Amino acid sequence: MKIYIIRHGETALNAKRIMQGRLDEPLNESGRQLAVLTGQAIRDIRFDCCISSPLKRAVETAKLVLEHSGNDIPIELDDRLLEIDFGDMEGRKLSEMGQPGFLFYTDPVKFAGFPNGENVRQVCERTQRFLKELIKKDDGKTYLISTHGCALRAMTNCLFDDPADFWRGRAPYNCSFTIIESENNRPRITAVDKVFYDEKLIVDHFKQS
């Protein structure tokens, strides 16, 4: 089986480097453009199933990618694919948290979590539960999974040699893929942060945070 995990396209809050977490933001024009370009670039890929976080930005990304890649399949929703819950910090900049917020990027596994929200370990637990359940199917199908930056890193963290390197140098680019191939319940990552659109359109919000 093959699993294409995409981070949603850009939103207005992404562009402002504001933590949106569970805020239900739609894509902005740039985000929609990247999703369309991505879909057009992968027209040779036939997806059998699509599963998305229920948040608008993830669902809209999945819809546009499927539509423009010629894949006419339904989108299932799964709450385990939701972004990390930023709790009291929703809609604010990470810099407002000072040193505790800095740890979210520099040492996220030790980060205690957001007030009235989640920590990274909790996100790893729920997203990896989803991934392990999917891999157990071992059905030879090709999946499109639409999710979020922290959730994507958390989901795939267990497949890397060094799980302590959570961010792997950056947050996933908008509309970038991490690709997993699995046979006989043995998953392996074959691509990280792969974009199918012009790399000149990449905006690295992680470096700007």
Percent of the chain, pLDDT > 70?
A: 98
pLDDT tens digit string along 69-111?
Answer: 999 999 999 999 999 999 999 999 877 877 777 889 889 988 9
Q: Name the catalytic one among 10, 25, 60, 83.
A: 83
For 65, residues 6+ apart whose C-beta sits below 8 A from its C-beta are 6, 35, 38, 39, 42, 71, 144, 146, 175
- pTM for the full predicted model: 0.96
pLDDT for 208 equals 43
Which domain CATH number covers 147?
3.40.50.1240
Helix (H) / strand (E) element for 67: namely helix 56-69
Please give the pLDDT value at position 101.
74
In the DSSP assignment, the letter for residue 161 is S
- Name the residue range of residue 171's domain: 2-208
pLDDT greater than 90 at residue 121: yes
Looking at residue 209, what is its pLDDT?
42
CB 34 within 8 A of CB 57: no
Q: What pLDDT is stored for residue 103 in this prediction?
A: 87
Q: Which entry of 8, 10, 25, 118 is annotated as an active-site residue?
A: 8
Catalytic residue list contains 125: no
Tell me, what's the pLDDT at 206?
63
CA gap 153, 167 in Å, rounded: 6
The per-residue pLDDT of the chain, averaged, comes to 94
Known catalytic residue at 205 = no
Q: At what angle do helices 29-41 and 56-69 cross, to 10 degrees?
A: 40
pLDDT at 207: 56
One-letter amino acid at 147 equals T
pLDDT at 205: 73
* CA distance to 58, 143, 146, per residue, from 54 (Å): 7, 17, 9
pLDDT tens-digit series, residues 157-171:
999 999 999 999 999
Residue 186 has pLDDT above 80, yes or no: yes
How many separate domains does the chain show? Answer: 1
